[in-house]
């Protein structure tokens, strides 16, 4: 089976504006340039995946069901602008979680690369040719630990960064994915 490269995006403050443990659809807002970035990745045939720490679950601030509803809304919004989010992987663990089970150190809370490894296995992704983008050093570290090219996003304009990533990592070597 042929492995394909992909884009991994953090969610909060990379794709959506984070006002603190976002889980409410009513508070959904794109980061500047995010819709155009998702469309550009889709038009270039590059699959997009979200990898996100969702410690608010462990802290009891919202439920997995709340988060899933937010993620379904995010995916619908991406489709409405001509983009696509193939899959979303999340980590519910947090050092201050209200249960021991969710307080336990795990392999999925970034900077650990478990979410990327899981998606790579499920979707047959080539991590060495993939790119991770996030607004925190832990995002960059997770990408690097998984063997990806990694970018720290400064929340200015995701579309500008997307154009650079496509030109640098996907078009320059002739990659086109469908």
Q: Name the residues annotated as catalytic.
A: 10, 12
Provide DSSP, 22-37. ---GGG--BPTTHHHH
Q: Are 69 and 25 in contact (CB under 8 A)?
A: yes
Taken in order 150, 152, 155, 156, is the CA torsion positive or negative? negative
Round to whole Å and give the CA distance between 128 and 9: 16
């Amino acid at each position: 089976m042929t492995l394909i490269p992909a884009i991994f995006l953090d969610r909060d403050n990379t794709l959506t504006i984070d006002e603190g443990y976002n889980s409410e659809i009513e508070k959904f807002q794109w980061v500047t340039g995010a819709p155009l970035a998702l469309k550009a990745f889709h038009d270039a045939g590059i699959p997009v995946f979200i990898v996100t720490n969702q410690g608010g679950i462990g802290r009891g601030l919202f439920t997995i069901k709340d988060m899933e509803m937010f993620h379904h809304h995010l995916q619908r919004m991406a489709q409405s602008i001509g983009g696509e989010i193939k899959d979303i992987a999340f980590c519910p663990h947090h050092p201050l979680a209200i249960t021991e089970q969710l307080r336990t150190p795990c392999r999925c809370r970034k900077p650990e690369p478990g979410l990327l490894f899981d998606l790579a296995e499920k979707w047959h992704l080539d991590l060495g040719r993939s790119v991770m983008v996030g607004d925190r050093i832990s995002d960059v570290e997770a990408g690097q630990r998984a063997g990806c090219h990694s970018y720290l996003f400064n929340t200015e304009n995701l579309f500008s960064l997307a154009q650079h990533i496509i030109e640098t990592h996907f078009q320059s070597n002739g990659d086109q994915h469908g």
